[in-house]
Amino acid sequence: MRVAVVGAGVIGVTSAFAVKSAFPSYDVKIFADAFSPDTTGDGSAGLWSPYLLGDTPVDNITDKDNVHPEWEKLVYGFHKGYHFVTYTAEPTLLLPWLMKKFVTLGGKMERRNVKRLHELAEEGYDLIINCSGLGARELIADKTMTPIRGQIYKVKAPWTMQCFLVDDDDDCNYIIPNMHSVVLGGTHQEGDFDRSVREEDSEHIYKGCCRLMPSLQASQIIRAWVGLRPGRPRVRLECEALNTPMGREFKVIHNYGHGGSGVTLCWGCALDVVEMTRNLKVPKLNSKL
């Protein structure tokens, strides 16, 4: 079977690697107009924790742990916080590692701007795995996709050993240590396509993070960065049967719309893609947008 994966972000590369690992005889190729270090994921801190997933059912994301006491709404001025152990998987390190593993298995990559999925079907691909992220707005006309603008600072602050996250209804501040830098955030501005660094956001990030950790005033700023997260009311992870303009049927597995949780969900979604690939001979395919 010939398999085309559209998109080389953390979702696309992980899906390609998982499929090639599970089905070594399959011809698997990634098509993308941008590869690491130029993907949206490369700017993220890679914190393994669900974030900005729209209306995706919480039962599909995490196990319930009764963290909200029944009486919290009865107590005036009630405040809550969480303490948990997790890790970071920095895309600037994760993506090159995954791509190297993928190529070692015999996977292929091509830099190309795919305009329509049927282009690849007409070239003989039997299965297309759509991991186009925000690009799904144009690629398959999914207008439920919306950018969630995120601006961050990367700084040198090697004394920072713990993550801090403060969330509210508008924006948030977070401090996430990586191997060679610390990521300070951030913004989540829905419907905003602006990729330029804004001074007002820089001020919000720096001052807010310094309030959380005053020692950051001694940090050295490496750079500011802006990326557009692929927002959607719900993650789309499903199979669909389509036809080319010439009438040739081909199969598509959609795997996009992960908001700010691409790193967190990439491997679980990739395993679901493998299962869907394994079951493609089932006559009835589920399809909904």
Provide the angle, in degrees to the nearest 10, between the axes of the packed helices 10-22 and 91-104: 30
Tell me if 264 is assigned to a ligand binding site.
yes
Reduce the DSSP state of residue 127 to 3 states and report it: strand
Tell me if 81 is assigned to a ligand binding site.
no
Tell me if 2 is assigned to a ligand binding site.
no
Tell me if 278 is assigned to a ligand binding site.
no
- The number of CA neighbours under 13 Å toward the Cβ of 90 is 13
DSSP letter for each residue of 190-247? ET----S--HHHHHHHHHHHHHH-GGGGG-EEEEEEEEEEEE-SS-EEEEEEEE-TT-
Tell me if 87 is assigned to a ligand binding site.
no
Tell me if 41 is assigned to a ligand binding site.
no
3-state SS string over 147-198?
EEEEEEEEEECCCCCCCEEEECCCCEEEEEECCCCEEEECCCEECCCCCCCC
Tell me if 183 is assigned to a ligand binding site.
no
Tell me if 47 is assigned to a ligand binding site.
yes
Tell me if 54 is assigned to a ligand binding site.
no
Tell me if 262 is assigned to a ligand binding site.
yes
Q: Provide the annotated binding site.
A: 45-47, 114, 174, 229, 259-264
| Residues in binding site for FAD | 45-47, 114, 259-264
Feature table: binding site for D-dopa: 174, 229, 260
